Amino acid sequence: MSAPEIIRSDVTSTSKTRFTVALGDIASLPVDAIVNAANSSLLGGGGVDGAIHRAAGPDLLTECRTLNGCKTGQAKITAGYRLPAKHVIHTVGPVWNGGDRGEEELLASCYRSSLALARERGVRTIAFPAISTGVYRFPAEQAAGIAIRTSLDESKDGAFEAIIFCCFGDDMAALYDRLLPRELAGT
Ligand code: APR
């Protein structure tokens, strides 16, 4: 798949972090880290997890096997191997079960944990997929709002040059494109 098309870029927050919405395959982004919407085994799966493992090659799975899984809402980091990205940050989103089992806080924790790990490792450019909005059925609009607000909150120290929301479908990209300026205006 060709490199993702930038839908909206240079929406800069007060901390000078550039927030961008991209449409396409996150596995093709040449950034410091891409985030994987994994499952708790960290041993691969479908969706974006499958795309990242396919593009990274078998060494990614070999390293993942050494991580002993990951809890929902937490994140672990590996190398990127054959990916153009230097690192993969694997996080496990919540499965949507109606919203009264702490799903929103767990999803926010995915973004918070991923950005904390990224900061720790000196990552300056990072791309997120729309975590939990596929197989895990999290309502897209709620998930996008959590993604943007948490990323804004966790980047106030200017640690990141760019945070990219990489969407796989036009509707998701349009949603982020609509929400991003609104959430930024609220900061
Ligand atoms: N690049 C960017 N985004 C992608 C890609 C890709 N190559 N492929 C899929 N997506 C999008 C989906 O369209 C969706 O919006 O990523 C979002 C998350 O969908 P899933 O990949 O299904 O992830 P999630 O809903 O978090 O479910 C995780 O699915 O693949 C398994 O192992 C994974 O068990 C875990 C579960």
- What's the CATH number where 173 sits? 3.40.220.10
Kindly indicate the confidence band of residue 1, based on its pLDDT and cuts at 50, 70 and 90. very low
Ligand 1 atom with the shortest distance to the CA of 46: 30
The residue-averaged pLDDT of 59-74 equals 98
Q: What is residue 45's predicted lDDT score, i.e. its pLDDT? A: 97
Please indicate, yes or no, if residue 187 is contained in any of the structural domains.
no
Enter the pTM of the model: 0.96
In a domain, 186, yes or no: no
Residue 10 a catalytic site member: no
Q: Is residue 92 within 6 Å of ligand 1 at its C-beta?
A: no
Give the burial string for 6-22 (b: 16+ CB within 10 Å, else e).
ebbeebebeeebebbbb
Is 47 within the bounds of a domain?
yes
Quick check: CB of 37 below 6 Å from ligand 1?
yes
Provide the pLDDT confidence category of residue 186 given band limits of 50, 70 and 90.
Answer: confident
Nearest residue (by CA) to ligand 1, atom 5, is 48
Strand 33-38 with 125-128, pairing:
parallel
The count of domains in the chain is 1
